[in-house]
Amino acid sequence: MKEILIKNLFNYKRTREILYSIIKHKNLKRNNFLLAESSRRKSISIFEFERLAENIPNGYFHPNGDIQLYGFYHVLLQYMGKKNLPNNIAQEHGFIFSSFVHKHFTFADTILTFSDYREKYINNEYPLKNILKVGPYIHYANDLLTEYEYRKLKEKNGKILLVFPFHSIDGIFSDFDSKEFLEIIEENRKGFDTVIVCLYFKDIQLGRAKTYVDNGYIVTTAGHANDAFFLNRLKSIMQLSDYVISNGVGSHVAYATYLNKKITLFRQKTTFRDEEGHENNENKKSLTDISKHWDEYELIQDVLFRILNGEALNNDDQEYLNNLFGIKYIKTSDELCRSLKCN
């Protein structure tokens, strides 16, 4: 009965605004800590991965879920020169390589995503919502590194091979044959001066950086999921690289495509297991839903592994990637402001 009452209340825009305001005020201290901690970490070297991977507690600064992750909310504010975004917008936190759509966009009027590919599936789930396609999110992020810092790191590290291992998330561990993956890295490092491995914060917390450090690679991370400068840091890390390799598909493929980085994917068997004590984690529930869309996921994976195989892309393959990730939907600051009806 309580859940039905709350759901009915949230159907009214004015009620939503009042409730959001109350919740935001109650969480003000946590939100201020998140921003202060993110700002402090901005000055930490991108190679101090253990410090960057430390948890940052959730802060409540926007009512619609995923837009609070990976710094995208703050990236948009900076891009548009605004202090707040409208309460009625939501966003897919990254590129989803299947027909899966999250269930938590019910009370948003506008949903941000990458491309026509994602719009099609979101419309199936939310036919009355406004879908705003904005292309790869990394476009909207400023580089974290200054031109001087970038130049010095390139002088020191030379030609860089950037590696993205398939990552775990809170509640779910991903496992693959690390020995086999190290062999893949070694086979592809010829002609490069430095190998940099970009790990997701969860895998650093699990102690998985040691494998790469012990093999002489430099480890970095874009930071914790709640870090307001996650996307900024990731953009700088990717801009440093000369070539990208990975053993799985993820948003990094979209971002490498947009940043004109050559990327090669290597197929490896990956298994998932629950994080002990986190069996009821939201990510676990989402994975159960995602598994219902596995056929579409495998279909698009097969296409990407075929295209991104180390060979030069032909025009058709490049056009496929550009369309998949919505490159043509990149918005200027003014276009974005008008689309989101910002004040």
Q: What is the CATH number of the domain that holds 283?
A: 3.40.50
Handedness of CA 177, 182, 184, 185 (dihedral sign): positive
> Using the 8-state DSSP alphabet, how is residue 71 labeled?
G
Judged by DSSP in three states, 340 sits in helix
Domain count for the chain, please give it: 2
Residues 106 and 179 in one domain: no
pLDDT at res. 22: 81
3-state SS, residue 245:
strand
Identify the burial level of 29 via C-beta atoms within 10 angstroms of its C-beta, where 0-12 means exposed, 13-18 middle and 19 or more buried: exposed
Same domain for 137 and 227, yes or no, is no
Contacts of 168 (CB under 8 A, 6+ apart): 174, 200, 202, 203, 206
* Per-residue model confidence (pLDDT) at position 293: 76
**287 vs 321, higher pLDDT:** 321
Residues 188 and 84 in one domain: no
Does 259 have pLDDT greater than 70?
A: yes
pLDDT attached to residue 280: 59
| 175 pLDDT tier (thresholds 50, 70, 90) | confident
Token representation of residue 269: 């068997």
pLDDT of res. 288: 62
Tell me: do 181 and 314 sit in the same domain.
yes
Same domain, 136 and 229: no
Name 90's bridge partners.
111
Q: Which has the closest alpha carbon to 198: 229, 235, 150?
A: 235
Same domain, 216 and 80: no
Question: Are 244 and 308 found together in one domain?
Answer: yes
- Looking at the fold, whether 244 and 263 belong to one and the same domain comes out as yes
Q: Are residues 120 and 254 in the same domain?
A: no
User: What would the mean pLDDT of 212-237 be, rounded to a whole number?
Assistant: 98
Residue 150 has pLDDT above 60, yes or no: yes
Closest CA to 207 of 168, 172, 238, 233: 168
Q: Which residue range forms the structural domain that includes residue 92?
A: 2-48+56-141+328-340
Residue 69: pLDDT band with limits 50, 70, 90: very high
pTM for the model stands at 0.92
For residue 169, name the pLDDT band (cuts at 50, 70, 90): confident
Q: What per-residue confidence (pLDDT) applies to 107? A: 83
Q: Are residues 82 and 183 in the same domain?
A: no
Q: What's the whole-number mean pLDDT along residues 297-316?
A: 94
The label of the residue with tokens 């279909």 reads 299
- Shared domain check, 156 and 288: yes
One domain, residues 211 and 267 = yes
Task: Determine how β-strand 263-265 pairs with β-strand 271-274.
Answer: unpaired
